[in-house]
Amino acid sequence: MDKRKIFISPVTRIEGHANITLEMNDDGTVHDAQFHVNEFRGFEKFCEGRMYTEMPTITPRICGICPTSHTLASVKACEMIQGIKPTYTANLLRRLMHIGQNLSSHALSFFHLSAPDFLLGYDSDPAKRNIIGIAEKFPDIALRGIRLRKFGQEISERITGKKIHIMGIVPGGMAYPLTEDNRKALLDWIPEAKQTVQLGLNIIKKFHEENGEMVQSFANSPTLYLGTVGPGGEHELYDGKLRFMDEEGVILNDQVSPERYLEFIAERSVNWSYLKYPYYKSYGFDNGFYRVGPLARLNVCSRMKTPLAQEEFEKFRQMNGGRPVHGTFYYHYTRLIEALSDVEDAERILNDKEVTSLHIQHHGRWNYEEGIGSSEAPRGTLFHHYKTDETGKLINVNLLIATGQNNPSMNRSVLEVARQYVKGEDIKEGMLNRVESTIRCYDPCLSCSTHAIGKMPMVIELKDRKGNLIRSIERY
């Protein structure tokens, strides 16, 4: 193959693969970086022509890690079309399931995917820098991480009978109640889950102490933030209003109903990635990059809803004098604070007398032609927007996914880390891992789905300013 040609590997054109192109200056420093996502899913298009009521079944298949978030956003959009609301108990069960998914996802992200870097080192043997390596060296931590993930999935299983791609969250409420036996069984998990999350917090805080400079400087670029908050500005995952915040901590828009998302967010496509570039509309494409996910949620919210999480939240907020914390590395810390809040909130819900009530569904039918739903997926704010004809058949679908909203920032973070660690044409494995870990901070879906054992399939290309390929490193 002519090495002067731009190389875009077709091998990576499947879910979970990424390409990175680095444009080099003549002096061997990095000029620009592009993070390519080559997956094409097509959900928005092939859902057209289906009944809107099928969407809560179809859209969870977008992701095996956050199917509950998709289902929730979808049923909310359906409920807007029908003009109905779920019952009190259904809301409790939905919250509980969402917590389960969030816990499971955060446990996977931290203990399985990221902890190997913290516990074994960025430059350790790649063959052992994974959960297996953790299991060999720190078996208790590995087991606890696996069990925390199990607890999250067991919540779904004990309510709906399935761990992933759950059925049972339906427009108007839930299809299945929680039995008393299952309620008690889930409550038994709480003490262990709390301990495990606190163990994770200790690991990350120790890493912060020992690697302060790296943690502070790691892709530390100011961006805007978007997250969901409750009526009093409290942290919220399931049902709330949107809050936009600028890089200085000024609230740009507050208590925005998710139905108005298009007034604030626009999207643009680029010709080198299937992942679109959403941006904060009034700041324009160049300045409107915003981030979503745990870091964004904890930056925008005023307080946590539970006591132990609130204690950690206060420590987090002091890190930048009460202003937003921009360091991408803090995604891990905020993820664990959220996990702590999840466990505490799960305990509160499981102790609610109404959680086992059989009044779990309201019934409705098609009434309106448009529905918008949102939820906070583990990776950030998620929007489902459906338009139907007068029979309920979908004529337009817009899905604004959390990873997409982080895409511009991921690009910027990759550039910053590349500039920090890549010098010259000789790319070392440690550099590859650091660039990879930048992406991993965001815990994007493409990482979750393919990165199960510590290595993300990746192609890094080194090009000169004219676009000529200097070198390409592939890892599958």
Partner 1 sequence: MNKIPVLIDEKKLEVDPHRTILEVCREHDIEILTMCHLKGIADIGSCRLCLVEVEGINKLMSACTTKVTANMVISTATERIKKYQRITTELFFAERNHVCAVCVSNGSCELQELGYKTGVDNIRYPHLFPQCNVDTSHPWYVMDHNRCIMCTRCVRVCNEVEGAHNWDIKNRGHQVRIISDFDTPWGASTTCTSCGKCLHACPTGAIWPKAIVQGQLVKNPGMITELVEKRKMRL
String of DSSP letters for 305-327: SSHHHHHHHHHHHHTTTTSPP-B
Nearest to 190 by CA among 304, 346, 341, 312: 346
Say if CB 409 and CB 380 are below 8 A apart.
no
| Stretch binding partner 1 (CB under 8 A), from 45-53, 142-150, 185-193, 450-458 | 45-53
Least separation in angstroms between residue 55's CB and partner 1 is 9
Q: In this structure, what are the phi and psi dihedrals at residue 429, rounded to the nearest 5 degrees?
A: -60, -35
* C-alpha torsion 235→240→244→245, nearest 10: -20
Say if CB 378 and CB 149 are below 8 A apart.
no
Smaller CB separation from partner 1, 153 or 361? 361
Smaller CB separation from partner 1, 49 or 222? 49
Applying CB under 8 A, does 270 fall inside the site for partner 1?
no
Query: Per CB under 8 A, which of residues 83..142 are in contact with partner 1?
Result: none
Smaller CB separation from partner 1, 84 or 115? 84
Interface pick for partner 1 out of 7, 32, 58, 285 (rule CB under 8 A): 58
Least separation in angstroms between residue 57's CB and partner 1 is 4
Tokens of residue 131, six digits: 């959960």
Applying CB under 8 A, does 190 fall inside the site for partner 1?
no
Smaller CB separation from partner 1, 360 or 400? 360
The residues pairing with 384 across neighbouring beta strands, listed in sequence order, are 373, 399
Smaller CB separation from partner 1, 388 or 413? 388
Interface pick for partner 1 out of 151, 313, 366, 383 (rule CB under 8 A): 366
Least separation in angstroms between residue 175's CB and partner 1 is 5
Burial class (CB in 10 A: 0-12, 13-18, 19+), 52: buried
| Stretch binding partner 1 (CB under 8 A), from 169-177, 214-222, 305-313, 451-459 | 169-177
Least separation in angstroms between residue 389's CB and partner 1 is 8
Neighbours of 398 (CB within 10 A): 14
Smaller CB separation from partner 1, 81 or 415? 81
| Stretch binding partner 1 (CB under 8 A), from 31-39, 388-396, 408-416, 425-433 | 388-396
Per the listing, tokens 């008690």 go with 184
Query: Per CB under 8 A, which of residues 307..336 are in contact with partner 1?
Result: none
- Cα separation, 407 vs 411, in Å, equals 6
Applying CB under 8 A, does 464 fall inside the site for partner 1?
no
Applying CB under 8 A, does 165 fall inside the site for partner 1?
yes
Nearest to 168 by CA among 366, 358, 360: 360
Q: CA torsion sign, 169 to 172 to 175 to 178?
A: positive
Applying CB under 8 A, does 184 fall inside the site for partner 1?
no
Least separation in angstroms between residue 382's CB and partner 1 is 19
Least separation in angstroms between residue 383's CB and partner 1 is 20
- Cα separation, 73 vs 380, in Å, equals 12
SS3 at position 305: coil
CA–CA distances in Å: residue 135 to residues 13, 131, 197 = 32, 6, 17
- Cα separation, 1 vs 131, in Å, equals 37
Smaller CB separation from partner 1, 53 or 407? 53
Interface pick for partner 1 out of 54, 192, 247, 369 (rule CB under 8 A): 54
The kind and range of the H/E element at 441 are: helix 429-442
Applying CB under 8 A, does 392 fall inside the site for partner 1?
yes
| Stretch binding partner 1 (CB under 8 A), from 15-23, 121-129, 163-171, 211-219 | 163-171
Applying CB under 8 A, does 359 fall inside the site for partner 1?
no
The residues pairing with 473 across neighbouring beta strands, listed in sequence order, are 460
Interface pick for partner 1 out of 31, 41, 50, 150 (rule CB under 8 A): 50
Applying CB under 8 A, does 61 fall inside the site for partner 1?
yes
Say if CB 103 and CB 342 are below 8 A apart.
yes
Task: Quote the longest CA-to-CA distance of the chain.
Answer: 69
Interface pick for partner 1 out of 8, 15, 51, 348 (rule CB under 8 A): 51
CA–CA distances in Å: residue 306 to residues 99, 342, 344, 386, 440 = 13, 9, 6, 34, 27
Applying CB under 8 A, does 363 fall inside the site for partner 1?
yes
> Residue-wise over 253-271: b if at least 16 C-beta within 10 A, else e?
beebebbebeebbbeeeee
| Stretch binding partner 1 (CB under 8 A), from 222-230, 243-251, 326-334, 359-367 | 359-367
Least separation in angstroms between residue 180's CB and partner 1 is 22
Applying CB under 8 A, does 164 fall inside the site for partner 1?
no
Least separation in angstroms between residue 392's CB and partner 1 is 6
Residues engaged in binding partner 1 (CB under 8 A): 49-51, 53-54, 56-58, 61, 165, 167-168, 170-171, 175, 363-366, 389, 391-393
